[in-house]
Amino acid sequence: MRKWTPSFACALVIFISVAPQLALAESIERAKRKDVEMLLNAASGMNSAYWASFIGESRGRVYIEYETAVYAGSLFSKEPKRVVYWLPRSEITEEQLIQFNAYKDKHDPRQ
């Protein structure tokens, strides 16, 4: 059986205190065309473990926020993981954009 040295115990305490902060890291990623269907599914609100919301358009790009409660760091944190996906406007159809807006309006807590 291994003895716990003071330096190992200190490193373990530091890791446990830093791990939740690592789990909260947010990012922005370029979405692929196949990701649009996954994001639409999440925006529909059918699953409570993940969701997505249309943010908007800017200079030929579309932005969608994706949140999930199930990810590797969720053992250390109760906060969802957030990723903002972007893609060129040319890679999303008008129908998909209308769906994103409809889901956003439907799930807007201010209404």
| pLDDT (0 to 100) of residue 1 | 53
Instruction: Please state, in angstroms and rounded to a whole number, the distance separating the CA atoms of residues 26 and 24.
Output: 6
The helix/strand/coil state of 23 is: helix
- Residue 66, strand partner residues: 52, 83
User: Using CB atoms within 10 A of its CB, is residue 77 exposed (0-12), middle (13-18) or buried (19+)?
Assistant: middle
The predicted-structure confidence for 20-79, as pLDDT tens digits, reads as follows: 444 444 788 999 988 999 999 989 887 777 888 999 999 899 999 988 876 555 555 667
| pLDDT (0 to 100) of residue 65 | 92
The helix/strand/coil state of 3 is: coil
Spans of all domains in the chain: 6-106
